[in-house]
Structure 1
């Protein structure tokens, strides 16, 4: 298990620190500061007094940091393995292809941080200064923040309960010196759990421009996507649209497509119609996408002639149109 120390900026005595006890009940609990796990925690006294159950004191700092971020987009999936992080990386590279745009990717998949590997920066580390943590830069206009940069090795497991995850997401938002960004892409874990609730809570005042939901064609993935869209509606996040990933296999030689995951119930397009959301497009399965992710290179740059690249770029253009950019 790792211990992440906060940077020197914006100290906040009421927030749950990243090195809180493993069984911390959380500041919202009536047991906060009163159970055995709280012994020795620097926040024990203030938690026990009930002061920590007021408005989260991190919110003003988050609002200040996010004031220089034009667009905030969540990338969601109902289940794992549908290519959500790979899509986030391609979206980041596509935005950053315009040298006049500044793009950031925040990886809040705390237990499975794959963004550093996909972007080819897994060996990098986070540095701190008087202005906070500095993102790791893939290129001059594409910065990244992930817990993966803080692990001693890629084999180390992150075994954190909700309050510690919440504390790290808070730090990513209020203590990272993102600077001025045109787009901040937030790569989330599968499902609707602590990380999703935390990011929505912290960004509710700054505003979330919308969410892109990723699925694959088979019904087992679509079931979870229905829940994901329902989550967005319940917490007030606009669904920018649905992307169907791995919708067919593209032969790198002959360029012909064949179905791998046959859509038994109509696939992503039918689901989008049923749920009343925009269908952004289908991305065929090109084996070179996985290869690009393993080697940390941009698939769009390396294989511009692939039907998958064309599909990615069409989807990205639709997202920009929906946002009015």
Structure 2
């Protein structure tokens, strides 16, 4: 019965996804005793609200097999995943996720911040790196001000907001100071921000890239160990045209694209409830199908998202029960799932990461 139950548990779908526990690399252990069976499941994605539904699914499965579950343990352990050749994950950061876009104005930074909040709410240890050195917006979106500490005059402590660590060039200069830098200076600033920040033990570091496919994106691909990329677009054709360029860029430099996020997909009138596709409909899904990458989620065009970003409290934190927050949580889950299905780092780099 133990072997049968263990095999059947591997076939159980993770709630909210179409993927089985076995496909996600979950570690399943079953032990039988006089009173019944005990099951432990270790997932490679943040557990969060999945624990209750997964427990129910396991109990139902055991009952169908004629077994009684007396103990169910569900936990998560985020592993380090493979990065570009000749690079290795950072010592304290298991997975760096780049969030990019082909053009500006598609809500990339808002998406990056709320995905980070959603992963953190699910129980992961998360950081955010603002790589847009010319137009840093993460400090305002997270409600951060002041200067970070430097305990030794060489490294800097990340600032913290809403349960996540954060670093941005915007925290090191005055708010209205323009970054009048040529490409090499900007790329040097990015690598310094990443390497000189005293990151804690992180499961995910979300990197908010500037729009386009320029120097900073190339530096990221060549010098920074990236486990995967997410492309943000809006449904309109001109946005998906530019998003295609970003997607192809990541493919050419060997960074796997985990999926697309379609932002501003639909607006629901707060007065009458009428849904309208202001920027077109289905552009993200068509692009995902054309290039064989998953559509991680479609996010709404909603006033509260903009208002909460300006107020420094992302909507996932400020209004966790709202449909908008749920959309971000759904997208974050799909992101974590796609990463969990990627190859892990080769053995022998750092025991703390494996």
TM-score band, normalised by shorter chain: 0.7 to 0.9
Counterpart of 1:323 (choices 339, 342, 353) is 339
Give the TM-score taking structure 2 as reference length: 0.68
1:149 matched to which residue of 2? 171
Give the TM-score taking structure 1 as reference length: 0.74
Structure 2: gaps (5+ residues): 1-86, 342-354
How many Å separate the matches in 2 of 1:93 and 1:82?
Answer: 19
2:312 matched to which residue of 1? 296
How many Å separate the matches in 1 of 2:288 and 2:97?
Answer: 19
1:169-188 matches, within 5 Å, as 169-188=190-209
1:199 matched to which residue of 2? 220
- Shift in CA distance, 63/274, structure 1 to aligned 2, threshold 3 Å: closer
What is the CA-CA distance between 1:105 and the residue it aligns to? Answer: 0.5
Structure 1 segments of 4+ aligned residues over 3 angstroms from their partners = 252-256
How many Å separate the matches in 2 of 1:255 and 1:128?
Answer: 50
Contact 2:169-2:193 at 8 Å conserved across structures: no
Contact 1:124-1:136 at 8 Å conserved across structures: no
1:132 aligns with 2:155: yes
Q: Could you list the per-position Cα deviations for residues 132-166 of structure 1 after superposition, in whole angstroms to 9, with x for gaps in the alignment? A: 11111114x411110001122x2221111011112
- Shift in CA distance, 312/254, structure 1 to aligned 2, threshold 3 Å: farther
What is the CA-CA distance between 1:260 and the residue it aligns to? Answer: 0.9
1:1-325 matches, within 5 Å, as 66-98=90-122, 100-121=123-144, 123-130=145-152, 132-139=155-162, 141-152=163-174, 154-203=175-224, 207-263=225-281, 266-324=282-340
Structure 1: gaps (5+ residues): 1-61
How many Å separate the matches in 1 of 2:271 and 2:233?
Answer: 26
Q: Secondary structure at the match of 1:126?
A: coil
1:33 matched to which residue of 2? none
How many Å separate the matches in 1 of 2:150 and 2:287?
Answer: 44
What is the CA-CA distance between 1:94 and the residue it aligns to? Answer: 1.3
How many Å separate the matches in 2 of 1:310 and 1:176?
Answer: 31
Root-mean-square deviation (Å): 1.8
How many Å separate the matches in 2 of 1:178 and 1:304?
Answer: 26
How many Å separate the matches in 2 of 1:302 and 1:167?
Answer: 35
How many Å separate the matches in 1 of 2:155 and 2:262?
Answer: 38
1:40 matched to which residue of 2? none
How many Å separate the matches in 2 of 1:201 and 1:77?
Answer: 18
Q: Secondary structure at the match of 1:173?
A: helix
- Work out which of the two has the higher radius of gyration on C-alpha atoms and give 1 or 2: 2
